[in-house]
Every structure is written in C-alpha cells, then in structure tokens.
Amino acid sequence: MAKPKQILIGSHTVPVEYVKTLPDDSGQFMASPNPCIQINDRVKAGNLPSTIFHESLHALFYFHGCEFEKEANEEATVRVLETALPDMLKRNPWLKRGLGL
C-alpha cells in the first residue's frame, strides 16, 4: 500500500504527513495552524490504515465542532469508534449497501 498523502473528511482535504519527530505516538491530528494528520514514519504498513482512520476521527470531531471536557474522553470515544464502526459495517452488509458504501 502506498502511503496516502491526504484524506478527504467531509468538505476538507487533510494532508497526511510522515514525520520522525513523534516519540511514542503512532500519529496525531494537528488542528492549527493548518489542519493535518501527522503519522510516525515508523508505523508499519499493516497499521497505517487504522492509524490514519483513528486520527481522521479526531479530525472529524474537530471539523464538526465537537468539544470534549477532557482529552481522555475524546481519545476513549475515538478508540471505541475506530473498532466498532468497521466491525458493525462488516457484520451488516445491508447497512453498508444502504449507506452507499
């Protein structure tokens, strides 16, 4: 899989940057000065889609004005959605088709 250079989130085209300066994290969404997703360049190819999906969920909340009282609450919500949404769509093909996916 080639490393994606951007992802479309609603009406936003969000650049995906690969950086060496993320010490422990796999990735992060940066809202300012310009929204972008940064991915640790050491993330293995097999983990890249889930890492970008995870960071895209953070971006989605940001673009829709969702604010969390604590950063930990946002992270917990993203972790649930990143596993539950794909699983639900995989187990219910009728839903996937009905949503035009």
Q: Residues 49-86: pLDDT tens digits? A: 999 999 999 999 999 999 999 989 999 999 999 999 99
pLDDT digits (tens, 9 = 90+) for 41-53: 999 999 999 999 9
| CATH, range 6-98 | 1.10.10
Spatial contact of 35 and 12, defined as CB atoms under 8 Å apart? yes
Contact (CB, 8 A) for 89 and 95: yes
Q: How would residue 10 be classed by pLDDT, with cut points 50, 70 and 90?
A: very high
Q: Tokens 């995906």, residue?
A: 16
What residue spans of 1-101 are helical by DSSP H? 48-63, 71-91, 93-98
- Looking at the chain, the whole-number percentage of residues with pLDDT higher than 70 is 100
